[in-house]
Chains A and B, each alone.
Chain A
Amino acid sequence: MGRFLLFCGLLLFGLGIRQAARAQAPAPPTQRLTSWWWKPAGTTEFGRPDAASPWRPAYWCNTAVDGQPGPARQLWLRTRVTISEAQSRTPMLLVLRGWSTASEVYWDGQLLQRNGRLGPQGEQPGRWHQQLPLTPAQAQAGAHTLLVRVSNQHFADRPWQPVATLTTWPRLLAQQQQETSSATLIIGILGASALFCGLLYVGFARQRSYLFLSAYCGLHALKIYGGLRGAAPDASVAEYFLLVHDVSYLALLANNLCLLAFLVLELRLPRARWWLTGALVFSGAAYGWLPVSFYFVVFTVVLVAAGLLAVRLRREVSRWALAGIVGLTGLTFLGYLWLLPLGYYWGIVCFIGLMAFALGRQLVQRHRAQQQAQLRSARLENELLRKNIQPHFLLNTLMSLQELIEENPRQANQLIDALAAEFELVSSIAEEKLISIEDELQICRTHLQIMGFRRQSEFVLETRGLLGTEQVPPATFHTLIENGLTHGYAQRGTGRFVLTKEPLGRGVRYRLFNDSDAAACGRPVVEGTGSRYVKMRLEESFPGAWRLRSAPVSDGWAVEIDLLAPSQ
């Protein structure tokens, strides 16, 4: 386990360091262009902004023109680009993404490309991606001015986050290849995980948490695939908004709901319905009103809260789930800072990896527990059958029978009948975990009859408050009666057992009284095989919901068994 975590940690650390080292290189082959200035469209004036100039700093998410909400419909954007001597020796190109709807790009005042047709009248959307090669004359070392005229009449209400990058061809190709291969790898991992969790759902009692985890993995794999298609170089703005924005946002909502449902069900959090209903309402509202980033932050807080609550409630795999959520958040943040490409998806892989490990361990433990339970049941069944063929019981009965055959043949026949009846009854219920108390009482009375013959005594069993349909583990009271006979009736010609049922606040109490001399003998109470058998049977059928007390009372001995109803 330690080695696995160390490997994951080193892998992620390596990826982060690699990206950080690239970002901090002195002359980056890829230069993201920032520090944009803007003014409304209508002029082609160039030059540095000053107090008298109408140019103003541009913040992509908060661009407003003269009180207009959202990005301006027609505007100019301008930035300065510095090309070093080293960069100027390599063929360079400008990569523009998301400059919807239509745009014109000017490099040092020279029109490089027209993407679509500018509005407001007759605006035609262009492509989402633009790759604009610069000639060696254009890409000379020194300062350059990049000017973009934008018209966004068609998608004015869409979030607008244009990106401009100055890079080289080899670098662009390498970057695209790396992103595609990483995305493909993640799709493979998530697809396999979805399949595995689906099989777990089918194979393990249709536990719904596995189904939600499967959906979480599968939807993310589809989301990445859709993103790859939407981010294709020839994708239109409409395709991009559909595949990358709308579908992606919806997928994110669905995925996070699946993730929360998985955590709530798997970690058995209280008030599951409230958690899920609240998350559903919030997600619905967020789709209409909140930007993705804000929604993501709020939902991450919800996920961390769920994880912390589970840890506090000491749920199984809760620590692993919390570690996965923290890993997911951390890697997503690295991706947001451009330190780790596809950081969010690597975060999901991290979460899935940790959960797969934790669930795998949990399944192994459950499998072992199940095997032990089966083994215990088999042992109990075996023990029950052995009770009737154990030498002390069987051989003493046979020897008593020898005597009766010679001295009292009529009683000998009765003893044989009772013995056969007990064998038949015990054999018929040995495989059961619960039997009706009526059957149990029949076995008890038959056993008392046999012991009455053997000891030439008279034993009776009285019942109070029983319906006959109550379910009890097989041979529970039979064993307790056998114990009572063994330890308390050495020199007695009669014996009386009374089985009473009383309701409890939460459950029911069975009380078996006998008028034996066990208490008077003053022998120390030692737990024997009979008591252990009864306790194991109770634990098998009512795990953790039973109590057994055995103690002397004023005129005999009493055993009380409380069967507690499961708490709500």
Chain B
Amino acid sequence: MRVLIVEDEALVASRLARLLRAALGERLSSVVVQPSLESAQFFLQDTPIDLLLLDLNLNGQDGFALLQQAVAGSFHTIVVSANKQRAIEAFDYGVLDFVGKPVTAERLQKALARFDHRELRAAAPLKYLAVRRRQAIRLLDIAEVLFIKGAGIYSELHLRNGSVELHDKSLQRLQAVLPPDFQRVHKSYIVRLVDVRQLLSHGSSKYELELLSGTLLPVGRERYKELKQALG
């Protein structure tokens, strides 16, 4: 796992790196510390990472500027901050977890567990999905999303207005931060259950899902029972 720590306090960054090494062991392939927003943004342009540990108050600058950019990326973000009153706001943007300072080994371990186990969802559901568009970040209200289709290492967000936005996260990583009413119905599709009209069975283990909009989506054979149970 490649981890970037964005933290302006040398001792805090040092402790986070030490705790990460202890928690991940061999799985940690690299850990880099960047002390400012500018250096972190510069680093992320060229270097792919899997996890970002982000402080929200960096040299008097608001880390939310980087947060919006980070959640649009392909990696997961865990906020490590003393400003606990901003935790809910951070979850709105789809962070994996919010760890308050001072950080203990147990608390960091719990946050890292969410990276590996998608069933351990975040403490609060996200409200926005950040997507990159022409060097800028656009925040999409999660309620605008009708369904999500996997597109290799990216995801296509199909919106209610018929438009499609590309997200840098894979379907698997996106699922880790989506609210519980978004369910994986196929290896390439995630659907919001409230938008489902009916589940169709065509025989020979071929299933489809009809959305309220009339759109038909394939349903994976192995997910049919779980989905039928969820829809009641």
Q: Is A398 an interface residue (CB 8 A)?
A: yes
Q: Is B11 an interface residue (CB 8 A)?
A: yes
Chain A proximity of B88: nearest CB distance (Å):
15
Which partner residue on chain B sits nearest A483 by CB separation? B60
Asked if A407 contacts B14 (CB within 8 A), the reply is yes
Residues of A near B59 (CB, < 8 A) are 486-487, 489-490
Q: Is B200 an interface residue (CB 8 A)?
A: no
For the complex, give the distance between the alpha carbons of A398 and B102 in Å: 6
Q: Is A456 an interface residue (CB 8 A)?
A: yes
Asked if A400 contacts B9 (CB within 8 A), the reply is yes
Residues of A within 8 A of B (CB-CB), count: 27
Q: Is B210 an interface residue (CB 8 A)?
A: no
For the complex, give the distance between the alpha carbons of A455 and B10 in Å: 5
Asked if A396 contacts B35 (CB within 8 A), the reply is no
For the complex, give the distance between the alpha carbons of A480 and B228 in Å: 63
Q: Is A68 an interface residue (CB 8 A)?
A: no
Size range of the interface on B?
20 to 34
Indicate which residue in B11, B15, B57 contacts A453 across the interface (CB closer than 8 Å): B11
Whether A395 touches B60, Cβ cut-off 8 Å, given contacts A400-B12, A403-B12, A455-B9, is no
For the complex, give the distance between the alpha carbons of A18 and B101 in Å: 85
Which partner residue on chain A sits nearest B61 by CB separation? A523
Q: Which of B64-120 contact A (CB under 8 A)?
A: 82-84, 100-103
Q: Digit string of B1-38 for contact with A (CB within 8 Å is 1, else 0)?
A: 00000001111101100100000000000000001101
Chain A proximity of B86: nearest CB distance (Å):
10
Q: Is B198 an interface residue (CB 8 A)?
A: no
Q: Is B39 an interface residue (CB 8 A)?
A: yes
Asked if B84 contacts A396 (CB within 8 A), the reply is no
Residues of A near B8 (CB, < 8 A) are 455, 490
Asked if A396 contacts B101 (CB within 8 A), the reply is yes
Chain A proximity of B53: nearest CB distance (Å):
13
Asked if B101 contacts A395 (CB within 8 A), the reply is yes
Which partner residue on chain A sits nearest B57 by CB separation? A392
Which partner residue on chain B sits nearest A400 by CB separation? B11
Whether A396 touches B10, Cβ cut-off 8 Å, given contacts A402-B102, A486-B60, A490-B36, is no
Asked if A403 contacts B100 (CB within 8 A), the reply is no
Residues of B near A407 (CB, < 8 A) are 14
Residues of A near B60 (CB, < 8 A) are 483, 486-487, 528
Asked if B15 contacts A402 (CB within 8 A), the reply is yes
Which partner residue on chain B sits nearest A491 by CB separation? B35
Residues of A near B14 (CB, < 8 A) are 403, 407
Whether A454 touches B102, Cβ cut-off 8 Å, given contacts A392-B57, A403-B15, A486-B60, is no
Residues of B near A491 (CB, < 8 A) are 35-36, 39
Residues of A near B15 (CB, < 8 A) are 399-400, 402-403
Ordered nearest first, which 4 A-B pairs have the shortest CB separation? A395-B82, A399-B102, A400-B11, A403-B15
Chain A interface residues toward B at CB < 8 A: 391-392, 394-396, 398-404, 407, 453-457, 483, 486-487, 489-491, 521, 523, 528
A-B contact pairs, 20 of them (CB 8 A): A392-B57, A395-B101, A396-B82, A399-B9, A399-B11, A399-B103, A400-B9, A400-B12, A407-B14, A454-B12, A455-B8, A455-B11, A489-B59, A490-B8, A490-B35, A490-B58, A491-B39, A521-B38, A523-B61, A528-B60
